Amino acid sequence: MQSTQPRLRDALACAWPSMVLGALLLLPFLNAPFTIDDPIYLREAQHLLEDPFHPQAFNMVWSTDLDLRASQILPGGVAAPYLLVPTALAGCAEWVGHLTQMSCLLAALFATALAALRFGLDQHQARLAALLTAACPAVLGMAGTVMPDVPAMLFVILGMERVIAWRDHRKWQQALLSTLWAGACCTHANSYDSGPGAGLHSPSRGHRPERDPRVISKVSRALSAGCADACRSMSLSPL
C-alpha cells in the first residue's frame, strides 16, 4: 500500500488533543528538581559555553570515586548538550530545562500523528496513536527529565516519516531530511537500532527495488551510524 500525502494541518488536527494532554501532565512539574543523570548533561551544556565543539571534553566524578572523562561516563549522545544550552544560559533553571523537554515532546506528538497519516492510517487512528504516545508512562517519565530520550524519539519519528515519504514520492528534500535519523543517533546512543523500523512498512505494489524500505532503512542506518561516530570523535579533545 502506498502511503498517502498528509497535510501538516491534518496532522496538527490529529495531534492537538495529545499535545494538550502532554502539556497538562507536565506543566505542574516545570519547577521539579533535576534527577538521575540530568546533571551530567547539564554540565556538558555548561562546558559547551566554553568549548562549543567538544561537549564531553572534561573530567568529572560521578557514580564512582574515579575521575573520568564525561564521554566515559555516558558514551554517545553528543548532540544532547546542545539542546540544553538555553538551560545553561539561564543558570540551569529547572523550568527552562523542563520547558525545553516539553517542547520536544509536543513536537514528537505532532510527528507521531504525521507519521501515522503517512503510513495510511485515518485521522481517528492517527489521533489515537498520538494520544497513546502522550499517555505512555515511559514517555512521560523521561519527559520529566532533561535526558535525551524524548528528543531522540522525535528525531527517530521524523526520520522514519521522511524515509517513507522519499520512498513513495522521490523528492530530494525528503531524502535530505531522512538524515534526521543521524540526529537521533547523535542524541542518544540507543537510537542506532531504530533504523530498520521503516523496513517494517510493506513495500508499495509495483515498487522498484531501490524503493524497497528495507534497502532505504539500511542505507539510512549506515549513514546515521557514520554521522554519530563522527560527532562522537569531534566531541572529544586530546587528553
Give pLDDT, residue 164. Answer: 78
Specify the length of the chain in residues: 239
Backbone angles phi, psi at 69, to 5 degrees: -65, 145
Average pLDDT over all residues of the chain: 78
Give pLDDT, residue 92. Answer: 94
Q: Which helix (H) or strand (E) holds 191?
A: none
Grid cell of 117 as nine digits = 497519516
What is the value of pTM for the model shown? Answer: 0.80
Grid cell of 152 as nine digits = 531522540
- The least confident of 64-73, 135-144, 148-157 is 64-73
3-state secondary structure of 59: strand
Backbone angles phi, psi at 29, to 5 degrees: -110, 20
- In this structure, the number of other CB atoms found within 10 A of the CB of residue 238 comes to 5
Structural contact between residues 155 and 183, judged by C-beta atoms closer than 8 angstroms: yes
Tracing cell 524500505 back to the chain, one arrives at 213
Of 165, 143, 170, 169, the C-alpha closest to 154 is 143
Q: Which residue has the higher pLDDT, 70 or 209?
A: 70
CA distance 199 to 129: 19
Structural contact between residues 4 and 117, judged by C-beta atoms closer than 8 angstroms: yes
- In this structure, the number of other CB atoms found within 10 A of the CB of residue 94 comes to 17
| Highest-confidence segment of 1-15, 104-118, 165-179, 218-232 | 104-118
Grid cell of 155 as nine digits = 528525531
